[in-house]
Structures are given as C-alpha cells and as structure tokens.
Amino acid sequence: MEFLRVIRSVLSAMIGVQKKKNLEEDFSKSSATPFIIAGLIMTLLFILAVWGVVQFALKANS
C-alpha cells in the first residue's frame, strides 16, 4: 500500500497536480528517500518511452 501511495504521489507531482496538503502529508509520515527513488525510476521510464516512440516513428517513416 505504501508503494502505491509513493507512486501516486510521484505521478501527481510529475504532471503538476499534486496538492500542497498531500505533499506535506507525504513528507511528514516518511522520509524523502522512497519519493526520490520512485522519481528517478519514473523519469527513466519516461525517457525510455519517449525514445521508443521516436525510434518507432523513425522506422515507420523510412
């Protein structure tokens, strides 16, 4: 359950819809480490997804 909460919080923050109340609640209950790790992983996944879409578009175009 805690893992899903961290993921939801990071996703909300990445797209810019995180409420300040939720942010304060997240950091008051636990350390920032799980959020930092989840943020790094999700950023890497986003970069890989964009790269994959670009590769697909380039192959489809040639």
What is the b/e burial string over 16-31, where b = at least 16 CB atoms within 10 angstroms of the residue's CB?
A: eebeeeeeeebeeeee
Residue 39: per-residue pLDDT? 93
Residue 26: per-residue pLDDT? 80
Residue 1: per-residue pLDDT? 61
Mean pLDDT value of segment 46-57: 96
Decide: pTM greater than 0.85.
Answer: no
With cut-offs at 50, 70 and 90, classify the pLDDT of residue 55. Answer: very high
Residue range 1-50, pLDDT digits in tens: 688 888 888 888 888 888 888 878 887 877 888 889 999 999 999 999 99
